[in-house]
Structure 1
Amino acid sequence: MVERGDLSLPKQRDCLIHYFKCLCMVEPLFTAISSDADSDSDPIIFVWYDAFNPKHENGVSSERNSIQLEKAAVLFNLGAIHSQIGASCDRTTALGRHLAMEAFNASAKFFYKLWQYFAKDVSATLDLTVLFAESLHWLLSAQAEDLKLQQRLHHNNTNDDASSALEQHQCALAFEYVSKLYRAACDLILCDSVATAVVVSFDETWITHLSLKVKFFEVEARRRRSSILPKSERLPLFQFRPLDDNAESITEKLVTGICHQWIHNQHRIPYIDLSLSEYSPFKIIDGGKLVAYPWDMPPPYPTNLSILSSSSSSHVLAFPLKKCEPLDLYESLRNYFVLKYSESVAKRVEGLLQMLNKLRDEMQRDDISLPVRRDCLIRYFKCLCMIENLFPMTSSPNPPIFVWYNAFNPQEDSSQHNIHLEKASVLFNLGALCTHIALSCDPTTFQGHRIAIDALNDASYWFYMLNSETKKASATVDLSINCTDMLCEIIYAEIDDLKFHSPLSQSDRSPLGGFVVSQLYRQAYDLLTSGPLAESLVQSSIPQYLESKMQTLHVKTAPIDVTDQFLSGYCTAQSLLQQGCQPLCLDLLSEAGPVMIKDGNLVANLRGSNVAIGGDELPDNR
C-alpha cells in the first residue's frame, strides 16, 4: 500500500480494500494489548501525514498507538482513490460519465463511513476530522449528481420534448439539488477558519470552484423554474427512458444491463469467501490456519479446500444440478450484431461474446472444483444480464436455442429461444452448487460449520432470485415456483438445523429448538407431498431425507477455534464495504469481473491488462 507506487488506480484500490479487511481481523489484538498492563511488548505506532500537507519534512502528522487511526486513514485513501478513478474517466462520453459517476458515488460513501463511524473516534490531522470527512462526502456526492445531470441533459437534447415545461421543471429541481450539495461542502469548509486556510494552502482554486458551482446551479435552477407547470398539471417526476438504440451506445447498453439487471446480494454473509473466492487476502488451510493469499499473482490460481472435509454432513441435502446441451453462443450473437448494427460494432463487443461462450462451456465441467465452478456460473450470469436486452432476437436468422434438462428427471427437457430459461437454469445450478459446498463442509469444526451455513444462505438467495425468472420462462418442473419454494423451505430448515447443532456447549440448546427445526422440515415435506411436486419428485431422495430429519435430531459438540475472532472481523469489514461502497459497475475496472472496458470496447478480462474507461487509459498514478 505504501511502497507500490507503480500500481494502477484499480489495483491500488484493491490493495487498500484487502488491507482494510485484514486490519478489521487483527483489531481485537490491539484491544487486548492496550488492556494488558503487564505486557512487555513495544506498542505499534502508526504515523500518517495530513493529505493536504503531505511533505514529510515539515508536514503535519499523526502518531498514535491506535489501530483506529490506521483504519480511518485507509478509508480516507479509499475515498481519495475512487475520486481519482472518477477524475480519470473520459467524461466527454456517455460511458465515461457513467463510470465516473459510479466512482464518485463510491468515494462519497467511503467518506460517509469515515464521517459517521471512524472520524469521531480518532484524534488525528485535520483531514480525518468529522468536519472534513463530511465536507468531502458532500463534495463527492455533488460531483456524482453533477455528472448524473449532465447525462440527463445530454439525453434530453436528442429528444423532441427537451424544452417542454415538464422537462424544465424536472431539470430545475435537479439543478437545485446539486447546488445544495455543493453549498453543503462549501459551507462546512468556510465555517472553519483553520479548514479554510488548509484548503487554500493546498489548492486555492478549491474555494473559488465550489462558490462558482453553487452560483451556477442556483441561477440555472431559477431560469428553468420560470417555465414550471402548475402543480395540478405536473406528471410524475421520475420517468424511465431507454437508451438510444444506436451503435455509439452499444457498449453503454451492455454495461447498463449488468448494473441494472444483476441484483447484487447486499445482505449476503461474506464468511464463505474465506475459502471459496480468489479475491480475499487470505485462505483457510489445514487445521483452520489462516495464510496469506497472493491476490495479485498471475493465473493459474491455487485452490486449497482443506476446510472441506471428505466426510459429508448429515444435516445437508445436496440438490442435483441441471444439465444442458452445448451451444455456440459466439457465432449466433456476433451475426446478430453484424446484421442489426455493423461489423465494427460486432468487433467492439467481441471480447464479451468470446467470454460468454467460454464461460458457458466451462460451467458444465465436472473436473473443476466447486468454488471455481461457482465463480464461473456467477460470471456467466452477469454476462447474461448484459445481453438480456438483445432478446428476443427476431431479426437474427440463427437465434440461439437453449436446451436444459430437468434436474430431478434427466429424460425431460425444455427447449426455448428465451434467455430467461438460460438465466433461470444458471440460478438453479448456483443454488444447487451451494448445497454441494455445504455438504462438503465438516460441521464439527467451527470454520466448517460457519462456511456450511453461509453456503446455504447463498443457496437460499439464488433460489429466491430464481422465482422472478421462472415467471418469464415456461420450463420443466424443477424451475417452477412450487419447486423453488419447497427447496427454499428445505434450506431454511437445514440452516436452523446446523445452528441448533453448532459446535458450542450444550447449555445453549433446548428441546424446544429441536422441535422447531423438526417443524421446519415438516413444512418442506408438506409442500413436497401435497402439491404438484409429489408425482414429479416421488422417486427422488428428497422425501426419504425429510422423513428421516423429522424423526431424528442429535447434537454434536466441538471446541471453538481461536481464529474465529479474526474471521468475525473479516465479516464485519466485508459487510461495511458491501453497503454501497463497491458499485457493481466498477467491477469493469477490476480484475474480478469477466469482462473489462479497454479503448471503449468490451474485452475478456485478462489479469495484468491495462484498464481503459470510456475510451481513455487510466494513468498508473496521479
Structure 2
Amino acid sequence: MSNDDPETVLSIPLKKTDPVELYLPLRKLVASKYSESDAQKVESVLQTLNKCRRDMVERGGDLSLPMQRDCLIHYFQCLCMVDPLFTSLSSDADADADPIIFVWYDAINPEHEEGVSSERNAIQLEKAAVLFNLGAIYSQIAASCDRTTALGRHLAMESFKVAANFFFKLWKVFAKHVVSATLDLTVQFAEFLHHLFSAQASELELQQQLNNNHASYALQQHRCDPLFSPVCDFYLKANYLILVVLGVAGRKHDYRFDQGETWVTHLSQKLNFFKAKAREAAHVTKSFILPRSLLPEVYSSVNSCALDHDAECVTEILVRGICRKPNLQQIYLDLLLSEFNPFKIVKDGKLVANPWDMPPPYPTNSAILSSSPSPWYSNILQYLPLKKSEPLNLYESLRNYFVLKYSESVAKKVEGLLEMLQKLRNEMLRDDLSLPFRRDCLIRYFKCLCMIEPFFPLNILPNPPIFVWYNAISPQQDSSQHNIHLEKASVLFNLVALCTRIALSCNLTTIQGQRLAMDALNDASNWLSLLRFESKKASGTIDLSEPYTTMIGNKISKLKLKFPHSQSDGSSLPGYPASAYAWSIFGLLGENLESKMKSCHDETDPNDVTEQFILGYCKSHSLLQEVCQLRCLDLLSEVSPVKIKDGNLVANATLEGLNLALENMSLQETPQ
C-alpha cells in the first residue's frame, strides 16, 4: 500500500505542569479528619504519590517513553486512592486545611494567556490532565516504533489503540468535569484525538494484513477489503472534528493553533486516499466470492500474521502470543500476596505503595495465611492436590527449533524469553515455595506458554519435546504428549488448586481474611473457566476431563455461599464488580448462586481511610484494565521480567536480584 507519505503518523505532546507539594497537606488532613494512626497506615501511599508527581515534573525529559508511561500509570493509581481526601479539602476550603493548587498548561500552546488551567483542590483537573498525558505518551511510543518491521508495526498499532482508549475516557467522562479547561482538555479535542489515533491504529492493522506475503491474493483481498471502510470512516470523523477544534480555538480561546493547519492537510490526504481504496475494494469484492475452503478458520488481531512468515516476523508472533493470556488476577489477592504488585496491604492493615521505579519483588503479608485449613471446609477441595510433571528442557528444544526453522541470529533474538521460560518451568515444579510465590510463578509461566504456542507443534525437530503430566487424583496414571495444550491445561489446573488452597488457609474471623478467601475462590473460578476451554484441545488424564472440572466448579461456587460477608457481586472488594463470565461457566447453578450473592452487600465504611483508599485503587485498576488491556505493551516496561530491546526479547538485567532470589529460595509451603 502506498500514499503520499505512508510513514507519517501524528502524535501529541505532553501537557506541562508546575510543581506542587502533596504529601504534607494530605497527611495533615488524614491525621485531623481520621487519626494519627490512620495517617501512618496510608503514609506510604502519600509519599509515593508525591514522588510520582515530582518525578513526572522534574525527571520527565530524562526518562524513556516507557518509563514515563510507568510513572504516569503509578501516579494515576495513587491519585485515585486519595480522591476522597480532595472532597474533604474542598469542603474545608475556608478552614485550616492547606489548599492544593494544580496548574496545567495547554499541550498545544502553553505560552498563551488562556493556555493554563489553575484550580484549587481540583482533583478532576489533575486526573484529566494525567489521562491526557497517558494518551499522549502512548501516541509518542507508537510514533517512535520502527514501523518498517512486523514487530514495530504491531507495537505501534497496539499503542495507538491504547492512546485512543485513553482519549475516549477523557472525552466521555473526565473532560466533562474540568471547570477551567484549556483547548486540549475540551470534549471536542479529546473526541478528535480518539478518532485520530483509532484511524492510525486501523491503518497499521491494514498494513499488517497487506504485508502477509504468504497468503494468497484472494485471501489477502478477502481479509483486507472490509478494513478499508472503517479506516476511511475514522479519518472522515477526524477530518470533521479537527475543523470543529479549529473553530473552538478561534472563537473561544482566540489563539494560534499552528499544528492544526498541518494536521488538516495530512488528514485530508489520508481521507482521499482511503476513500479511493474503499471504493476500489468494494468493486473488487463484488466481482468474486471467496470459496469457503479458502476462508481462514479464525479472525483476530492475534492471527493476522502467517506462522510460516519470514524470520523477521518471529518476535512479532511471540509478542502477539501474550495477548492470548487474559489478565484474570484478583485485586485483593494481588494486593496481599503477589510479589509483583507494587501496591500492598501489609501487617495491621497498613497500605504500602512501592515507588514506581522500584523493581519487584515486593514484600508481602504471607502471615495472613494459616498453616491449617479452616474447619468449615470439609469437602473435596481440601484435598485437591497439584499435578506433577517430569522435568523437561524446553529451552534446548525451542532454541534448536528457531535455529533449524530460521537461523542462529533469530534464536539469539528470542533467547531471553526462552531462558525465562525454562527457569519458570523448573521453579513451578518445586515443592518448597510458598503458595503465593508459586502462584506468581505459574501465572508468569502460563504467560510465556501463550507466547510460544503459535510455533507448536515443533514437527521439524527430530525429537520434539514431550510433556509428561501425572493424574492429580491417581498419580500412577500419566499423559505424555507433544501437545502444548496439555501443558497449558495442567498449569491452569495447578492454578485452580493453588487458589483454593490459599482460600482454605485464610482466617475467616477477620474481614481481610474473608475478602482474601473470596478473591482466591474467584481467581480459582476464572482459571477453571480457561482450563475447561484448554482441556478440550488435549486428551489428558481424567482430572482434566469435563465432568471432573465441572464438579470442582460446583464445589467452589457452593463454598462462596458459606461466607459470613459475601459481596454483592461476587467480588472480594466493595464497589468492584467480579468478572461476568466467572459465573457463566456453571450454567443455571451459576445464575442461582449469583442472585444469592447479590442479596448480601458489604458497603465500604466512609470512616475508614484505608477502605476508601482501597476502593479508589480498585476504580483505577478497573479503568486501566479496560483501557490498557493489550498485555503485549507491558513488554516495554522497565520492570517486565522479559522486555523488548532493539527488536529482541531479552531477560531484564535490572531484575537479576529476583532471579538470584528464585535460585536461593527455600520457603516452606503451607502444609496440605
Which structure has more RCO (C-alpha within 8 Å, separation ≥ 6)? Answer: 1
What code does the residue aligned with 1:2 have?
V
Query: Does the C-alpha gap of structure 1 residues 454 and 198 become closer, same or farther in structure 2, counting only changes over 3 Å?
Result: farther
| Matching residue of 1:342 | 407
| Matching residue of 2:610 | 563
Matched residues in 2 for 1:463 and 1:312: separation? 21
- Higher mean displacement: 413-422 or 279-288: 279-288
| Matching residue of 1:471 | 536
> 1:288–1:307: 8 Å Cα contact kept in structure 2?
no
| Matching residue of 1:108 | 164
Which of 324, 347, 353 pairs up with 2:389?
324
Query: Does the C-alpha gap of structure 1 residues 565 and 249 become closer, same or farther in structure 2, counting only changes over 3 Å?
Result: same
| Matching residue of 1:549 | none
Which of 347, 351, 360 pairs up with 2:425?
360
- Higher mean displacement: 33-42 or 82-91: 33-42
Query: Does the C-alpha gap of structure 1 residues 309 and 45 become closer, same or farther in structure 2, counting only changes over 3 Å?
Result: farther
What code does the residue aligned with 1:110 have?
F
Cα deviations by residue, 1:294-338 (Å, 9 ceiling, x for unpaired): 342245543343444556434554532112111111112222222
Matched residues in 2 for 1:175 and 1:464: separation? 35
Matched residues in 2 for 1:444 and 1:168: separation? 58
| Matching residue of 1:147 | 204
Matched residues in 2 for 1:106 and 1:115: separation? 14
Shift of 1:433: 1.2
- Higher mean displacement: 101-110 or 278-287: 278-287
Residue 46 (structure 1) aligned with residue 46 (structure 2):
no
What code does the residue aligned with 2:156 have?
A
Cα deviations by residue, 1:253-307 (Å, 9 ceiling, x for unpaired): 2222222x32343xx6423221233454432111111123234224554334344
> 2:183–2:253: 8 Å Cα contact kept in structure 1?
no
Identity of aligned residues (%): 62
| Matching residue of 2:82 | 26
Cα deviations by residue, 1:447-466 (Å, 9 ceiling, x for unpaired): 22222211111110001100
> 1:115–1:134: 8 Å Cα contact kept in structure 2?
yes
Which of 596, 599, 606 pairs up with 2:653?
606
Query: Does the C-alpha gap of structure 1 residues 165 and 205 become closer, same or farther in structure 2, counting only changes over 3 Å?
Result: closer
| Matching residue of 2:144 | 88
Shift of 1:105: 0.3
Q: TM-score, normalised by structure 2?
A: 0.75
| CA RMSD after TM alignment | 3.2
Structure 1 residue matching 2:173: 3-state secondary structure: helix
Shift of 1:193: 4.2
Shift of 1:564: 1.4
What code does the residue aligned with 2:206 have?
L
| Matching residue of 2:118 | 62
Q: How many residues align?
A: 553
Query: Does the C-alpha gap of structure 1 residues 278 and 196 become closer, same or farther in structure 2, counting only changes over 3 Å?
Result: farther
| Matching residue of 2:600 | none
Shift of 1:398: 1.8
Structure 2 residue matching 1:498: 3-state secondary structure: coil
Cα deviations by residue, 1:146-185 (Å, 9 ceiling, x for unpaired): 2112222222x65552699757854653553343343344
- Higher mean displacement: 24-33 or 104-113: 24-33
Cα deviations by residue, 1:461-491 (Å, 9 ceiling, x for unpaired): 0011000121122222211111111111111
Structure 1 residue matching 2:503: 3-state secondary structure: helix
Shift of 1:430: 1.0
| Matching residue of 2:659 | none
Shift of 1:594: 4.0
> 2:639–2:655: 8 Å Cα contact kept in structure 1?
no
Q: Which runs of 5+ in 1 are unaligned?
A: 504-520, 525-558, 610-622
Shift of 1:38: 7.7
Matched residues in 2 for 1:125 and 1:608: separation? 41
Which of 456, 466, 475 pairs up with 1:401?
466
Q: Which runs of 5+ in 2 are unaligned?
A: 1-55, 569-585, 590-604, 657-672
> 1:285–1:307: 8 Å Cα contact kept in structure 2?
no
Query: Does the C-alpha gap of structure 1 residues 445 and 48 become closer, same or farther in structure 2, counting only changes over 3 Å?
Result: farther
- Higher mean displacement: 162-171 or 131-140: 162-171
| Matching residue of 2:279 | 222
| Matching residue of 1:297 | 358
> 1:427–1:466: 8 Å Cα contact kept in structure 2?
yes
Which of 299, 321, 326 pairs up with 1:257?
321
Query: Does the C-alpha gap of structure 1 residues 197 and 604 become closer, same or farther in structure 2, counting only changes over 3 Å?
Result: farther
Matched residues in 1 for 2:389 and 2:655: separation? 33
Q: TM-score, normalised by structure 1?
A: 0.81
Query: Does the C-alpha gap of structure 1 residues 436 and 91 become closer, same or farther in structure 2, counting only changes over 3 Å?
Result: same
Cα deviations by residue, 1:186-226 (Å, 9 ceiling, x for unpaired): 34324434389657245652232222222222233334444
Residue 119 (structure 1) aligned with residue 179 (structure 2):
no
Query: Does the C-alpha gap of structure 1 residues 147 and 499 become closer, same or farther in structure 2, counting only changes over 3 Å?
Result: farther
| Matching residue of 2:57 | 2
Matched residues in 1 for 2:506 and 2:256: separation? 54
Shift of 1:388: 1.6
> 1:171–1:224: 8 Å Cα contact kept in structure 2?
no
Shift of 1:599: 2.1
What code does the residue aligned with 2:326 have?
I
Matched residues in 2 for 1:208 and 1:428: separation? 56
Residue 435 (structure 1) aligned with residue 500 (structure 2):
yes
Structure 1 residue matching 2:271: 3-state secondary structure: helix
Residue 483 (structure 1) aligned with residue 539 (structure 2):
no
| Matching residue of 1:209 | 266
| Matching residue of 1:532 | none
| Matching residue of 1:375 | 440
